Each structure stands twice: as structure tokens, then as C-alpha cells.
Chains A and B, each alone.
Chain A
Amino acid sequence: MFSQYFGHYLLNNGLITAQQLKTALDLQKTTHVKFGVIAVDEGLLTSKQVEEIHEKQKQLDKRFGEIAVELGYLSNEQVEIMLSSQKKNHLLLAQAVVDQNYMTIEEFTKALNEYKRVHSLSDEKFEAIKSGDIDAIVGSLVQMNHTEKEGYAEYVSLFVKNIVRFIDDEVYVEASEANNVEAEWLVSQEITGEEPLWTAIAADEKVFLEIASAFAEEELTDADELAQASVSEFLNLHNGIFLVNMSNKGTELEMKPQKVDHASAVSVSKENALCVSVQTSKGSFQLLLSYLPESVVVFEKPKENQTV
């Protein structure tokens, strides 16, 4: 999970290309993290010491840990700890990126520190994010872009969990600045009660069918009643779980039936709405939220712009 976020940070900052990110994310599934990467990440060795050990490895038939211990850089206990860190997700990305010569270890470490600084992350929060804590990831992203919209974090966090649970385990979200979104397919649902919320999924037909197929657990190739029912039911199920969570906290909310609009555009107010770009391995779509459902305008796109 963290790899998706940090990988996109690298991409957005021009540190790697989209193709390199894709290759690295694919590779990390089969990558075995090397000791050098872990040692630098844990702050146990400098990248210079790692290079020195790598040089020695070329001459000696010994493991990285053994040489590090012999050189007095690491204790046996530290090597044990590092062995258990080998499956750390963000390190798999690091290893894949370094193996492919997209970045050096130093560049990767620098970018990781910069990521931490830009997102104003405490060490504790950064640890939570590295270990894949969805609440921490979403909280920091939503907060960074919209301090006044912190209330949305809980909803978005649950949404990410439900995407992982029902649609795709590779998911990356970021707040987007859009307040006018055109959608080939727009599935919306209004939550009513003391804390009303308008919620919607906006997607093109390809991604719409991907979401529909994943949730229905069968391949759907037409955006027919069943496909529309599937995406609607996913949003309904997610909102239902959100309502249960809120109910357990003492806030009782209700839901209206979902609506499906085709070839429409939606306009939300920047002040009270949040657009979240949701990227999965099946494609990207938008999650739209507004605390003021009455301020949301859904209208049909002009005919000439419609996708047939």
C-alpha cells in the first residue's frame, strides 16, 4: 500500500517515469529486499558502507550480514532484526527501483526523507504509513490538501479499505482540485440526517465495468442493469458500513436510494466538497463528496460531447 503512495510521489515529482513506476510496482511483488537497502533505511549503515560491503562481496563468498559484522558495522542482533525486515513493503519498491537503475540508494533515501518532510509526518506517523496503515495514509493526504476538510478523512479511509476489500488491493488516492467533473457514468447516493453527505463515484465506461465486474465477481462487458446495479451496490454497501460506524459513535444517519446517471457532468462547490482521485490497477476514477448535498448540481452533458 505505501509503495503506491510513495511511488506516485516519485512519479509526480519527476523522479521516475510512469513506465518505470509500473515496472517497479510489478517487480516488487517478486523482489527480495537486499540487506544494504534495509540497513540504510534503518539508519544502521551509510550508503558508503553498503558500497564497501558490496565491493568485498565481489571478492569474498560471504553474505552481506557476515561481512558487515566482520567489519564491525553491525552486530549479530542487528542482522537478525534486518532479516525480519526483509518483507517491508516500501523497501520492496526501493529494491525494485534500485535494481532497475532508476535511482541510486542515496536518491531513493533522499526522496523518502523529502516525502516525509513535505507531508509533515512525525516519525510515529511515518512508521504507521510505512506499515500500511490506511487511516494514517488517507489522513495525511486529505489533511495536507484541505485542512478544513478533515472530517472527510474517516469516510475516505473507509472507502479505501472497501476498495481493497471488494475491488482491488492496489489503490492510491489523492485529493484533486477539480470542482467540475464530467462522468460517463456517475453513481451517487445521498446520506441524510444530522451530518448529511452527498457521495458519488464518477468513472469512464471501462473503469465502471472493471468496478462492476470486481464487485459482482463475474465479468461484465456491458454497462447494463446488472453492471449499474453492481457499482450502485458497492457504493451502497460502503455507505451502509459508514452509517454503521457513525451509528456506533452515536450519530444516526439514513441513506437515500442510489442514482445512476449516464453521460453527465457534476459541479460541486470548492468550499464544501472534496474530489478524490482513486487510482487502482484497474484504472482511475473519482470519488466525490459534499457536505452540502443541495449545492451539488448534476446535469446532462451537451449532446455533441456525449460518448456513445
Chain B
Amino acid sequence: MQKQLNVLICDDSALIRKKLKNILEVCKCNSIEEAEDGHAAIQKAKETKPDLIFMDIVMPGKDGMEALEEIMKENPAMKVVMASSAGTNSYLKQALDLGAYDFIQKPITLEAITAIIEKVIKGESAHV
């Protein structure tokens, strides 16, 4: 049987959380937790130990890059996928330097999310 993932979504946009959740449900994820900013994401990552985190970058309070850094310090094996509309060279480099598993450019699509879920399930390293 295919492994079912526990996923954490971190995005300040209620719309993105809703859309991503709908997609993840289609992908048959086991449990889907939500966080509205970096602080909440760090807390939930500690509590729920998800298999995968989707993290927005530009958020009020603690942004996605700061949250990524803290989460990776706490658990270097965590798979954090940065999801942003601003896939600029500097954001991309910063995310990968901080240990992000992958980077997806918004708008999010079913195809992009499915591809990531499949990679995680297969245990591949996405960006190598």
C-alpha cells in the first residue's frame, strides 16, 4: 500500500490554504495541518512532525525563510517545500541554501503538488 503523508501547510492566505488543502485531499494525504505564519508553522512542525511542509515566503510576522531556517535547525531531515509567487533567483538560492527540499512557483497546480508528493513517497531528493 502506498504511504500516506502527513502534511503541514503554512500560508497567510486563506485562499491558498483552502486550494492547497483541496489538492492534498485529492492526493489522499493522511492528515493536513494548517498554519498562518512562520511562528505557528515552527510550533506545529514540532508538535505534529509532518512528513512534508508547504511554506509560503512572504508572510506577516515571521516569514517563510526565517521559519525554514528554524525548522531545519530543529530537524535537518525535514522536507520543506517553499511555495511562492516570487521565484526570483535570490529567493531560490536562499531557500536551497537553507535546506529547502524544493521550490514551487505559484499559482500552485495539481501537477506540481502531485509531483512533489510522489517524490517524497519514493524518498527521492528532489533538487539533486
Contacts and interface: CB of A to CB of B under 8 A. Distances in A.
B32 to A, nearest CB: 18
B90 A236 contact: no
Interface residues of A, number: 25
Given A226-B18, A256-B58, A257-B60, A237 B12 contact: no
A232 interface: yes
B90 A237 contact: no
B85 A226 contact: no
Given A240-B106, A252-B89, A254-B91, 5 more contacts: A226-B18, A236-B85, A252-B90, A255-B86, A257-B59
A238 B86 CA distance: 9
A77 interface: no
A240 B85 contact: yes
Interface in A205-244: 215-216, 225-226, 229-230, 232-233, 236-241, 243-244
Contacts of A226: 14-15, 18
Contacts of A252: 88-90
Contact of B85 (A215, A216, A230, A237): A237
A97 to B, nearest CB: 38
Nearest to B87: A244
B40 to A, nearest CB: 15
B16 interface: yes
B13 interface: yes
Interface of B: 12-16, 18, 58-60, 84-91, 105-107
Contacts of B60: 257
Given A237-B106, A237-B107, A257-B60, A243 B16 contact: no
A229 B56 CA distance: 14
A244 B88 contact: yes
Q: Name which of B15, B18, B60, B87 has the most chain A CB atoms within 10 A of its CB.
A: B15
A226 B84 CA distance: 19
A256 B61 CA distance: 11
Task: Select the residue from B18, B58, B90 with max chain A CB neighbours within 10 A.
Answer: B58
A230 B12 CA distance: 11
Q: Most chain-B Cβ atoms within 10 A of its Cβ — which of A216, A240, A246, A254?
A: A240
A229 B58 contact: no
Contact of B86 (A215, A216, A240): A240
Given A240-B84, A252-B90, A233 B16 contact: yes
A113 interface: no
A121 B84 CA distance: 39
Contacts of B15: 215-216, 226, 229-230, 233
A100 interface: no
Interface in A245-289: 246-248, 252-257
6 contacts: A236-B58, A236-B85, A239-B86, A240-B85, A244-B105, A257-B12
Given A237-B106, A237-B107, A252-B90, A232 B58 contact: no
Nearest to B61: A257
Contacts of B59: 257
A225 to B, nearest CB: 5
B84 to A, nearest CB: 6
Q: Which 8 A-B pairs have the closest CB atoms?
A: A240-B85, A247-B88, A240-B86, A229-B15, A229-B14, A257-B60, A243-B86, A237-B85
A247 B84 CA distance: 14
Contacts of A257: 12, 58-60
A229 B59 CA distance: 12
A232 B86 contact: no
Nearest to A240: B85
Nearest to A256: B58
Contact of A253 (B13, B84, B88): B88
